[in-house]
Structure 1
Amino acid sequence: MLTTRHATAMVVGIIIGSGIFLVPREMMAAAGSSSMVYAVWIVGGLLSLFGAMSYAELAAMKPRVGGEYAFLHDAYGPLTAFLYTWTWTTIAKPASIASIAAALMRVLGNFHTFAFLNTPAFAHLAWSQIAAILATWLITLLNVVSTRDSANLQTVLTWLKISIIVVVAVVCFSAIHTGSLHNFASHYNAARGGFAGFMVALIAALWAYDGWSDVTQMAGEVREPQRALPLALIGGVATVGLLYMLTNAAIQYVLPAATIAVSDRPTTDALLRIAGPLGAGLVAIGMAISIGSTFIGSSLSGARVPFAAAQDRLFPAALAAIHPRFRTPYASLILQAVLSSLLLLALGRFQALFSLAIFSEWLFYALTTAAVFVFRFREPNTPRPYRVTGYPFVPAAFIAAALVLLVFSFHDQPTASSYGLGVILLGIPIHYLAKSRAD
């Protein structure tokens, strides 16, 4: 069984991936000023915290394997649960894992030893795609062999990444001859600006915060979940928010807004300016460790969704198989690795993989959070070890923000959003076809 420490480390470890090291550029290019970027970080952090608080009530009330799948099934019935599982299994989670693998290869490619990753292998494949697929299968093997060992390794890597983030911040703020408080008042005049700029920056920030919900999928494997999951969700998101604000402040202390807005790797450039190649190397190592921690946690939790659906006979029964020796859902883990590998072969590019997942994820975030209202109305007397502070405002604010984000995403990225919506709708006839055959 996993402990509160494991669950909290999973929340922090999954959330903090490559986002904090990369998105300051997108945020500054969209928002244009330090004050607006901080407003976006605060809004994104509060929205994520509101979502985590809502999920904490659901997870403490119904601590079952599958997390969102279980909440959606109980709240809306098998069709909605199937559509979530179908979307999660075929697109959202494989695309997420593939994007993590692609990001890891992009970071490793900065090291001289791994420079070959940036070169073609054969046909239309790059070595980075092959290495990303290999990494996906190595992580999958680890998760098949032992859930607890995976969680222990993920916990260690999480503490390492937190330590490196703190070190990076200390180094930046110690560079009194390089940094300047005047940078916080600087602007990027070519920024998109306005509401559209704020929303683009918010999407980038929410991507950096994304992953807080994954721990609920492990609810059935956490000791004392009624206590552990609220602590992990709320404490984990709050910790991440503080670390993100600290890192962003450190970067802006060293670099002016205009430099951040055009830098592919703002954190690396800040340390390069202060400490030369040694500082840039520290950031690269930190990014690799950070992404590795996210990789393990995301893969570990993701396979629990089709596993739970298969147990309820909404998905093929084979996906409910548990390894006779290791007692892990190996069939679901293997399917997840296969689909992630296929996406890496077909797309390979980090941004394309990420865009594939974002629309469907936020649609189901909104539906799951709305389940708080459904259960409050339908099951008023069911014990709730944790109740959302600020109900009904907190879950309602999260749902409203998720819907605004969905509308803006559809307007700003119509192709990716349409593809995501198409995959979800395709699940409807598949569900009824499978149901008719079962009958």
Structure 2
Amino acid sequence: MSNNNQTLRKTIGLSAALSTVVGILIGSGVFFKPQAIYTATNGGPGLGILAWVIGGIMTIAAGLTASEISASVTKPGGMMVYMEEIYGEKIGFLTGWVQGMLFIPAIAGALGIVFAQEVVSLLGIQNKTFVIVIAISVIVFLALLNSLGAKFGGGIQTVSTICKLAPLAVIIIFGFMNGDSTSEIMTPMVGEGISMVSAISQVLLATLFAYDGWIFVGALAGEMKNPSKHLPIAIVGGISVVMAVYLLINVAYLFVVPASELAMSNAPATLVASKLFGSVGAKIISVGILISVFGTLNGFILTGGRVPYTMACEGKIPFSNIFSRLNNNGVPINGTWLVVGLSVLYSLTGQFNLLSDLAMFTIWIFYTMLFIGVMKLRKTRPDMDRPYKVPLYPIIPIVATLGGIFIVTSTLMSQTKNALLGILITLVGLPVYSLTVKNKKNDRKDQDKTA
């Protein structure tokens, strides 16, 4: 095992790390989130464009900060392991609970919905019931594919990565060439009757969904030749490239279609493509977007089952003996179907933006705690092995923390019902944790008696 790790550490240089960061971050949000952004601004383009910049800066600060602990704590399990290292077993459990019960299945459900909406739009189907049916079908289909083993999942990821970049490039190039370059893209900042303060948390939640994935970047540290030098460059450089792409495509959107019209479409990229290329060209772009969303959804289903599986292997959830099982192909099949079942339930809402906002709000509570935890560990464990240290400490962790606090508090005020639902689902994890701890103690007592 250790030899493999040594080999991995020598394989990733700066260019490979940069491309990996870009590949992780670019997903489906850039194709679909303009609707939520320009609805929140009431058709005002300025704040929407500004949000992509602010969201990018927050993501850079978040990635630089979180990578310090992910480079130091190399045990499998991701964020729930980092949080356990900082705050103890209960908070570590709640992190895994939120990831497995809410964040991953809600995002998977949201992706199923936008996939279905794109299919319905492509086929010209008017009946909205088909959106739910197609969303559930694609989620279950991908679960069946992934049950055959990791090779299938990996192949889908490779194809989808190419397909998600192609529509972006085409829309950017032709949008700038054929769009109206005199279009106002920064004024007005927001439409009539909307205040900047009330809109900013909603537009940031939308852009942060598009930037999400940075938490996995720190895992590269253990595979890099020189993480202390190259990881911050990869994070800043990679996220800056993604930010530039997001800015370019959103300016291209606005050159072709006004923000007020983008706010009315649940498939903004397809709308822009239809204006640029007509119905046939738009359908070709739609197919590329569909494959991209399909691949992103596949990534969540491929990795999602690993969360309950990891927790079950450590006896941290009820029915651990069931969720810790692997099938003949080495897939945590019961953990995968748990996440898929929840994804199907979430998809019944038919609300992409509601689900993605719910997931992003809740996970950002834990992200913010993680940023604070990095500073906490600097004081409580100064001698901890840190292959990579966050640059400009403590400024960058403070920026990340303040950004997280703003997202959480402003969402509580502007989307109170959605935020409270996320908190409620999180708190349900507490009695589950207590039950698990109690069962563990009883099992130990029984073992002691039999011994």
What TM-score bracket applies, with the shorter chain setting the length?
0.7 to 0.9
AA of the residue aligned to 1:426 = V
Contact 2:317–2:432, Cα closer than 8 Å, also in 1: no
- Which residue does the alignment assign to 2:192? 190
| Counterpart secondary structure, 1:179 | coil
Q: Greater CA deviation, 11-20 or 284-293?
A: 11-20
- Which residue does the alignment assign to 1:27? 37
| Counterpart secondary structure, 1:390 | coil
AA of the residue aligned to 1:296 = N
**Cα gap change, 1:308/1:373 in structure 2, threshold over 3 Å: closer, same or farther?**
farther
1:63 aligns with 2:78: no
**Cα gap change, 1:223/1:196 in structure 2, threshold over 3 Å: closer, same or farther?**
same
Report how far residue 355 of structure 1 moved: 3.9
Q: What TM-score does the superposition give when structure 1 sets the normalisation length? A: 0.86
Report how far residue 370 of structure 1 moved: 2.0
Contact 2:132–2:347, Cα closer than 8 Å, also in 1: yes
Contact 2:27–2:292, Cα closer than 8 Å, also in 1: yes
Report how far residue 8 of structure 1 moved: 7.1
AA of the residue aligned to 1:200 = Q
- Which residue does the alignment assign to 2:164? 161
Q: Alignment RMSD, CA only?
A: 3.1
Q: Any residues of structure 2 matched to 1:25-424 within 5 Å, and which?
A: 25-31=35-41, 33-112=44-123, 115=124, 119=127, 126-175=129-178, 178-184=179-185, 186-187=187-188, 189-190=191-192, 192-214=194-216, 219=219, 227=227, 236-316=238-318, 317-318=320-321, 321=324, 323=326, 325-345=328-348, 347-424=349-426
**Cα gap change, 1:64/1:155 in structure 2, threshold over 3 Å: closer, same or farther?**
farther
Report how far residue 56 of structure 1 moved: 1.8
| Counterpart secondary structure, 2:402 | helix
> Which deviations, in whole Å up to 9, do the C-alpha atoms of 1:335-354 show, x marking residues without a partner?
21122123334x23323433
Distance in 2, Cα, partners of 1:420 & 1:373: 26
| Counterpart secondary structure, 1:183 | coil
Report how far residue 185 of structure 1 moved: 5.4
Report how far residue 70 of structure 1 moved: 0.5
Report how far residue 258 of structure 1 moved: 4.1
Distance in 2, Cα, partners of 1:282 & 1:191: 38
- Which residue does the alignment assign to 2:444? none
Distance in 2, Cα, partners of 1:80 & 1:52: 21
| Counterpart secondary structure, 1:184 | coil
Contact 1:65–1:220, Cα closer than 8 Å, also in 2: no
| Counterpart secondary structure, 2:184 | helix
AA of the residue aligned to 1:26 = A
Distance in 1, Cα, partners of 2:314 & 2:140: 27
Distance in 1, Cα, partners of 2:427 & 2:16: 36
Q: Greater CA deviation, 53-62 or 100-109?
A: 53-62
Query: Would you say how many aligned residue pairs link Structure 1 and Structure 2?
Result: 426
Distance in 2, Cα, partners of 1:215 & 1:310: 25
Percent of pairs with identical residues: 27
| Counterpart secondary structure, 1:342 | helix
Q: What TM-score does the superposition give when structure 2 sets the normalisation length? A: 0.84
- Which residue does the alignment assign to 2:445? none
Where structure 1 has 5 or more consecutive residues not aligned to the other structure, the ranges are 121-125
**Cα gap change, 1:35/1:343 in structure 2, threshold over 3 Å: closer, same or farther?**
closer
**Cα gap change, 1:314/1:395 in structure 2, threshold over 3 Å: closer, same or farther?**
same
Report how far residue 9 of structure 1 moved: 7.0
Report how far residue 215 of structure 1 moved: 6.1
> Which deviations, in whole Å up to 9, do the C-alpha atoms of 1:278-301 show, x marking residues without a partner?
332243223212211211222222
Report how far residue 34 of structure 1 moved: 4.2
| Counterpart secondary structure, 1:56 | helix
**Cα gap change, 1:405/1:85 in structure 2, threshold over 3 Å: closer, same or farther?**
same
> Which deviations, in whole Å up to 9, do the C-alpha atoms of 1:168-191 show, x marking residues without a partner?
11111111xx42234335536436
> Which deviations, in whole Å up to 9, do the C-alpha atoms of 1:159-211 show, x marking residues without a partner?
22112201111111111xx4223433553643623222233222221122223
Report how far residue 67 of structure 1 moved: 0.7
| Counterpart secondary structure, 2:74 | coil
**Cα gap change, 1:166/1:54 in structure 2, threshold over 3 Å: closer, same or farther?**
same
Report how far residue 221 of structure 1 moved: 13
Report how far residue 392 of structure 1 moved: 1.3
**Cα gap change, 1:233/1:70 in structure 2, threshold over 3 Å: closer, same or farther?**
farther
Contact 1:65–1:305, Cα closer than 8 Å, also in 2: no
Distance in 2, Cα, partners of 1:21 & 1:14: 16
> Which deviations, in whole Å up to 9, do the C-alpha atoms of 1:4-29 show, x marking residues without a partner?
69987775455433321232243334
**Cα gap change, 1:361/1:159 in structure 2, threshold over 3 Å: closer, same or farther?**
same
Report how far residue 72 of structure 1 moved: 0.6
- Which residue does the alignment assign to 1:123? none
Report how far residue 247 of structure 1 moved: 0.5
> Which deviations, in whole Å up to 9, do the C-alpha atoms of 1:110-155 show, x marking residues without a partner?
122xx55x537xxxxx333233222212222333333354234313
| Counterpart secondary structure, 1:109 | helix
Contact 1:14–1:294, Cα closer than 8 Å, also in 2: no
**Cα gap change, 1:148/1:372 in structure 2, threshold over 3 Å: closer, same or farther?**
farther
